[in-house]
Amino acid sequence: MMNTDNLIIVIGSGTMGRGIAQVALSHGFRVHLVDSVQSQRELAHKSISQGIGRALENGQVSPEGTLNWSERLTMGPDWHSLKPSWVIEAIPESMDLKGPLFTKLDEEFGESVWLASNTSSIALTAIQGMATRFPHRVGGLHFFNPVPRMALVEVIAGMATAPNFVSAAHDLVKGWGKEPVTVPDRPGFLVNRVARPYYLEALRMVEEGVVDYADCDRIFEGAGFPMGPFRLMDLVGIDVNFSVSQSVFEQTFYDPRYRPHALQQNKIWLGHLGRKSKRGFYSYE
């Protein structure tokens, strides 16, 4: 049986979970990756293996950190009697899924185990409400996609989170070469909230006929942004971008600043979701 030393349980082996596991494994940690779907676990293993291989080739991780990584990785549909220092949850963005999971985690793990969610939009305080035994050891670790390449991690303290959680979270992700920033538990946390005008005002300007989308991109790219708002929405996925606005809008009790835009809704109805569907604001045929 594994002991507490440097053992992380990651729950959900999708896009984010496998990225988080890869980063932990690249820094000498042991990881138990949980997913209810076996094929997802297999895909995750392959992706981690390729990811570490590439990162080694490009000198982004050290040979010492990644040494014997595959021996430090276990996987399964459950976590049995493991004793981790952290549990990081990365299952789909739904309170109906995350809520019961945190209730279970809170019941099964002792007070000294930190429980973190990688949620991008659910209030941490709401998740704490589902972990009533020790809510103070619950908080947010919001990684960005792709996890191995994006340095930022938003550390989110819910209303009941202990200051110790925040300092432990900083220590953990700094050890993984990440840059933690502590942000408040408000809709969109920090980055997704401050980013809203970049997309929403751009959409409104195009609708108002101030500028067309391609010229709008050219203006922002000319000002040093790597991608204009429309090119970026196409990359992220118009549906994904829309749902972030929608969630911030709803959670702020309909603050008009975050009102999602009908132009995006129309694109979604037509299946023009961006690069992934070969068509968004631009065409990628």
Kindly list the catalytic residues.
120, 142, 154, 192
Candidates 6, 9, 12, 30; binder of ligand NAD (CB under 6 A) is 12
In the complex with ligand NAD, the residue whose CB is nearer, 89 or 217, is: 89
**DSSP-based three-state secondary structure for 29:** coil
In the complex with ligand NAD, the residue whose CB is nearer, 169 or 216, is: 169
Helices and strands per DSSP (H, E), number in the chain:
12, 8
Q: Residue 232: which residues within 8 A CB-CB, separation 6 or more? A: 198, 199
191 makes contact with ligand NAD (CB under 6 A): no
Give the Å distances, CA to CA, from 105 to 81, 117, 214, 216, 252: 12, 11, 48, 47, 29
Closest to 53 measured CA to CA, from 80, 78, 25: 25
- With CB under 5 to 8 Å by kind, the binding choice for 118 among ligand NAD, another protein, none is ligand NAD
CB of 142 to another protein, least distance (A): 9
CB of 285 to another protein, least distance (A): 27
CB atoms within 10 A of CB 28: 17
Site string for ligand NAD, 151-190 (x = CB under 6 A): ----------------------------------------
Contact residues for another protein (CB under 8 A)?
144, 150-152, 154, 179, 181-184, 186, 190-191, 193-198, 201-202, 205, 208-211, 215-216, 218-227, 229, 255-257
- With CB under 5 to 8 Å by kind, the binding choice for 223 among ligand NAD, another protein, none is another protein
**The dihedral sign for the CA sequence 71, 77, 82, 86:** positive
40 makes contact with ligand NAD (CB under 6 A): yes
State the DSSP code for 6.
T
